[in-house]
Copies of this chain bind each other. A is one copy, B any other.
Amino acid sequence: MTGRLAIVGLGPGDPRYLTPEALAVLADASDLVGYAPYLARLTCRPDQRRHGSDNRAERERACQAAALAVAGLRVAVVSSGDAGVFAMASAVFEAIEAGGPEWRALDIEVVPGISAMFAAAARIGAPLGHDFCALSLSDNLKPWAVVTARLTAASSAGFVIALYNPRSRARSWQLGAAFALLRPILPAATPVAFATAVTCPEERIDITTLAEADPELADMRTLVLIGSAATRRIDRSGTRPWLYTPRRESAS
């Protein structure tokens, strides 16, 4: 039996956003590896083994998955959203690069998923309709000075910004600092959206402006979208506005 290693994006949460390819790869797996709450989303057969682990244990989880695959098992590492975006695919390739030649020889497939960013954007309109960037606000894995340099560069150049990991219990001040940094660069009326637990029963969308954006609206399940000066707001009566970024842009 030849082992294999798949890294599978489960999408934002609702199974209606899980692709047939992801379902087929999950069904083919003998062993499922991942953050325990993501594994809990899946219906497994009795012959499939689940290896749940803690949120922070990404490196250990990646090594465990590679070792199981080298031992001949059919392993699926699961990740929320798209596995390649601030998620498990990078951790697996870090482990592969550091591992032995038999790890590099593994049959590896990355299965893309609906990212949190695009699921959130779809609920809000088309805020990512023109040039945009995705930026992790966490300073656990990079210096805060790198985060601020990127926020400044992206906003000054006119990119819409999708902020991943905007806030957690241990990182409470960074999002407020990011808004404070952006306020002198972007117009006060620049649209800002907080999209929390998108496609899940507890989904919540808050639309505001950069001037009024309140970091308290974000938690660990929130994606924050910050418009560019070109992003438009379409007000509607009785319901929240649409945001979109036009395809056409004049000189900035």
Chain A residues with CB under 8 Å of chain B are 9, 11, 14-21, 24, 58, 82-87, 89-94, 96-97, 104-105, 108, 110-115, 118-119, 121-123, 125-136, 141-143, 145-146, 149-150, 152-154, 156-159, 232, 234, 236-237, 242, 244-252
Contact A156 B153 (CB under 8 A): yes
How far does the Cβ of A10 sit from chain B's closest Cβ, in whole Å? 12
CA distance A136 to B251 in the complex (A): 15
Copies of the protein in its oligomer: 2
Contact B234 A104 (CB under 8 A): yes
- In order of increasing CB-CB distance, the 5 nearest A-B pairs are A90-B129, A89-B126, A153-B157, A93-B244, A133-B133
How far does the Cβ of A246 sit from chain B's closest Cβ, in whole Å? 6
Q: Which residue of B lies closest to A159 (CB)?
A: B133
CA distance A118 to B83 in the complex (A): 9
Interchain CB contact (< 8 A) of A82 among B118, B136, B152, B154: B118
Contact B131 A132 (CB under 8 A): no
CA distance A122 to B91 in the complex (A): 14
How far does the Cβ of A201 sit from chain B's closest Cβ, in whole Å? 16
Contact A113 B110 (CB under 8 A): no
Q: Which residue of B lies closest to A149 (CB)?
A: B157
Contact A93 B126 (CB under 8 A): yes
CA distance A15 to B247 in the complex (A): 27
A-B pairs with beta carbons under 8 Å apart, 13 shown: A18-B19, A19-B19, A84-B128, A86-B247, A90-B245, A93-B129, A96-B242, A97-B244, A112-B118, A131-B135, A141-B248, A143-B251, A150-B159
Q: What residues of B have a CB within 8 angstroms of the CB of A14 in the complex?
A: 21
CA distance A115 to B128 in the complex (A): 12
CA distance A134 to B158 in the complex (A): 12
How far does the Cβ of A56 sit from chain B's closest Cβ, in whole Å? 12
Q: Which residue of B lies closest to A164 (CB)?
A: B131
Interface centre among A83, A111, A114, A249 (most CB of B within 10 A): A114
CA distance A243 to B225 in the complex (A): 28
Q: What residues of B have a CB within 8 angstroms of the CB of A247 in the complex?
A: 58, 86, 90-91, 94, 141
- Contacts A97-B232, A131-B134 aside, 16 further interface pairs with beta carbons under 8 A come to A16-B24, A18-B20, A83-B122, A84-B122, A90-B126, A93-B126, A93-B232, A110-B121, A110-B125, A113-B114, A113-B118, A131-B136, A133-B159, A141-B247, A143-B251, A154-B154
